[in-house]
Chain A
């Protein structure tokens, strides 16, 4: 089976963290959103996950899948999915 490809878009400080505004990730059919985030934020997972187990996102992190909020990070993804992840901008 051919690998799946998803696009991850990053905003605000997450762009600086990852060093890119957009990343394409190749994953297997059984991979979940969590797996994608672990790959994208490798080395900086503590910024988005509550603890080392990486089972829960920090409360302020907003993740959208194809423009809709996702709360379950163990959601399986589909080829072509677009994931957006951002902390809220707070300046004014």
Chain B
């Protein structure tokens, strides 16, 4: 009997210790969670003033796709990651080359030869470990674009060619998700926000791609300006604040430090979006 009592007592003791252990672990987890919350609040403190906790949560729950980790992609990825977007999927088929380094600020000299998406992921995760960075070392084509974009709720256009841009345009139309278009040339750049069924799509604006002969001149800072505006548009869209560049194209003229605004309309004969009721 005494042995049974001892066994019971021991069981109770073990159970008790196990309960205490579980409480201790729960306490540790709670403290860790509070620590993370404090860090998060500290990290985003300056934008929480504007966004509030609800706004920051919207960013944290967002899943977005960034097409390209080059000039525009580098700048936009840095700011999107810093802002605390929950999941960022990046697709780029290129490797880092020396001629990229005047403008592709996510990549450093020692990254020459490395796949851009790998180089990008390394830096972005160091910038903000809270953000989930998914990478695809693939080119974007008509055939794979829907799969690559997946369940992303928006697309950031950081491409360097119109063929891929048109593929993204059609994907955005099919999935009914916004496309944040940007492009650069030297000291100049263009930005517009495309909302399927509401605004001119990329094909409405540019029915045909430019001839594309020769290398495109690009000043690094131009990428910064254009990408920053694209990121502003993304944040405004996710936060449901401000006015987007809907049916408006901003043209940045860096040489003269001017911004022009160009009004746009849908093309009723657009081969991509069908145009709705409006004309270009």
Known contacts A59-B208, A60-B208, A90-B216: does B160 contact A13 (CB below 8 Å)?
no
Q: Is A92 an interface residue when CB atoms closer than 8 A count as contact?
A: yes
**Which chain B residues border A52 with CB–CB below 8 Å?**
none
- Measured in the bound complex, the distance between the Cα atoms of B49 and A92 in whole Å is 32
Q: How far is the CB of B85 from chain A (nearest CB, A)?
A: 20
**Total A residues in contact with B, Cβ cutoff 8 Å:** 22
Q: How far is the CB of B78 from chain A (nearest CB, A)?
A: 15
> Interface size for chain B: under 10, 10 to 19, 20 to 34, or 35 or more residues?
35 or more
Q: Which residue of B lies closest to A69 (CB)?
A: B280
Q: Is A12 an interface residue when CB atoms closer than 8 A count as contact?
A: yes
Contact B185 A69 (CB under 8 A): no
Contact with B along A32-75 (1 / 0, CB 8 A): 00000000000000000000000000111010100111010000
**Which chain A residues border B165 with CB–CB below 8 Å?**
90
Contact with A along B239-280 (1 / 0, CB 8 A): 000000000000101011000111111000000000000001
- Measured in the bound complex, the distance between the Cα atoms of B184 and A90 in whole Å is 6
Contact A90 B253 (CB under 8 A): no
- Measured in the bound complex, the distance between the Cα atoms of B262 and A89 in whole Å is 14
Residues of B within 8 A of A (CB): 68, 70-73, 157-162, 165, 182-186, 188-190, 205-212, 216-218, 223, 251, 253, 255-256, 260-265, 280
13 residue pairs from A and B, CB less than 8 Å apart: A9-B260, A11-B253, A60-B208, A69-B265, A69-B280, A84-B260, A88-B190, A88-B210, A90-B162, A90-B165, A91-B185, A92-B71, A92-B161
